[in-house]
């Protein structure tokens, strides 16, 4: 039984990636399970300058989901290079830097400076964070800016670039295609979905930021549609995710066209779960009489 997947020339032991922002820098989860065994880990977003993120409350619950407005809190690029890179280099899995910025120059600075670090295998260009005032999803929503950003990142990057797309767009297929045409090596979708929750007693939003990004089980049908539509439009690989909670969900995203899948909120609510899903995967495939997981990528039948 083969569950390894090759994406952009990089070998993933299995298709399960831990999603950015939900597992810190990955090694924090080692007390729950051997993180080395996962297919990859997308590290928490890095920005040029340190960011405190939004004031609390910055996470709240909704039905089968959470809404977060963390706001890309991180200690900045200097600290990432001096400390985080060393910490994550011992994790024996594919390590993906998640890159965010307020301008194209900031994205480029990060790609350029991380080029020299062998500990980072790929860049995930985050153009879809809903929780910042500048940058973030602005790039994902403006086609002209997105095109320029993808081009510039590609020209400076010495590692494959994954563009993490924004879900709240009118035509995901043409946005995905434009990323491919302008040099993206892979796509990732979906990020959290812009949303809001209100406290009816106190009569205020549940998040200080008013709005946040919805993630977890509730968004899976939306994410599946986006992955399917994008995969029909491009031939570059896709990392699919949003609301994965079990092995069935992994298979659903792969059938829809994802070569890799990402698990986020589930790792927050139950840190053991991604590892349990990984361990259940071979038996699940055997029951489906699949010898090689690559066989099911994009194999969805339609009526
Ligand atoms: C608390 C939290 C923080 C996140 N931070 C980031 C981030 O820094 N960069 C990023 O690209 N996505 C970030 N995300 C989005 C996740 O990586 C993932 O795309 C999204 O949550 C959907 O997957 P899920 O339903 O499995 O959580 C964050 C999500 C959560 C819940």
Residue spans of the domains in the chain: they are 5-296
Q: How far is the CA of 232 from the centre of ligand 1 (A)?
A: 24
Q: Calculate the CA 218 to chain-centre distance.
A: 17
Catalytic residue list contains 129? yes
Q: pLDDT (tens digit, 9 = 90+) per residue, 25-72?
A: 998 899 999 999 999 999 999 999 999 999 999 999 999 999 999 999
Q: Which CATH number fits domain 5-296: 3.40.190.290, 3.30.70.120, 3.20.20.70, 3.30.70.100?
A: 3.20.20.70
Taking the C-alpha atoms of residue 164 and residue 176, their distance in angstroms, rounded to an integer, is 10
**By mean pLDDT, which of 85-94, 96-105, 137-146 is the weakest?**
137-146
- Choose which residue among 20, 47, 140, 242 to substitute to test ligand 1 binding: the one with the highest number of ligand atoms within 8 A of its C-beta: 20
Q: pLDDT (tens digit, 9 = 90+) per residue, 272-297?
A: 999 999 999 999 999 999 999 999 99
Residue 77: CB partners within 8 Å, gap ≥ 6?
46, 47, 48, 49, 109, 110, 113
Q: How far is the CA of 288 from the centre of ligand 1 (A)?
A: 30
Please list the alpha-helical segments (H only) found in 204-246. 220-233
With CA atoms as reference, report the closest residue to 265 among 279, 250, 245: 245
Please list the alpha-helical segments (H only) found in the chain. 77-79, 85-88, 104-114, 137-141, 143-156, 172-181, 220-233, 247-255, 265-269, 273-287
Q: Whose CA is nearest to atom 10 of ligand 1?
A: 20
- Choose which residue among 264, 268, 269, 270 to substitute to test ligand 1 binding: the one with the highest number of ligand atoms within 8 A of its C-beta: 264
Output the ligand 1 site: residues, CB below 6 A. Answer: 19-22, 44-45, 66, 68, 70, 72, 98, 126, 164, 191-192, 215-216, 219, 241-244, 263-266
Q: pLDDT (tens digit, 9 = 90+) per residue, 193-234?
A: 999 999 999 999 999 999 999 999 999 999 999 999 999 999
Residue 230: CB partners within 8 Å, gap ≥ 6?
165, 172, 173, 176, 187, 189, 238, 257
């Amino acid at each position: 039984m083969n569950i390894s997947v090759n994406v952009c020339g990089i070998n993933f032991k299995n298709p399960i990636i831990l999603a950015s922002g939900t597992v810190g820098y990955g090694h924090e989860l080692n007390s729950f399970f051997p993180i080395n065994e996962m297919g990859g880990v997308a590290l928490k977003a890095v920005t040029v300058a340190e960011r405190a993120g939004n004031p609390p409350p910055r996470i709240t619950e909704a039905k089968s989901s959470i809404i977060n407005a963390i706001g890309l809190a991180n200690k900045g690029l200097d600290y990432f290079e001096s400390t985080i890179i060393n910490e994550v280099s011992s994790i024996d899995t594919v390590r993906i830097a998640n890159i965010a910025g307020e301008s194209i120059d900031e994205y480029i600075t990060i790609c350029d400076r991380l080029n020299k670090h062998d500990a980072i295998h790929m860049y995930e260009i985050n153009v879809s964070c809903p929780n910042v005032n500048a940058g973030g999803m602005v790039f994902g929503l403006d086609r002209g800016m997105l095109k320029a950003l993808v081009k510039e990142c590609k020209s400076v990057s010495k590692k494959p670039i994954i563009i993490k797309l924004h879900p709240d767009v009118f035509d995901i297929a043409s946005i995905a295609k434009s990323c491919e045409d302008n040099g993206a090596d892979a796509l990732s979708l979906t990020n959290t979905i812009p949303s809001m929750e209100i406290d009816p007693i106190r009569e205020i939003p549940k998040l200080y930021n008013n709005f946040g990004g919805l993630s977890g089980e509730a968004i899976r049908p939306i994410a599946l549609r986006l992955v399917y539509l994008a995969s029909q439009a491009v031939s570059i690989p896709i990392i699919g995710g949003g609301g994965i909670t079990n092995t069935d969900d992994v298979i659903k995203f792969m059938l829809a066209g994802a070569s890799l899948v990402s698990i986020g909120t589930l790792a927050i609510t139950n840190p053991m779960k991604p590892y349990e899903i990984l361990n259940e995967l071979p038996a699940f495939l055997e029951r489906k009489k699949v010898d090689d997981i690559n066989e099911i990528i994009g194999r969805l039948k339609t009526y």
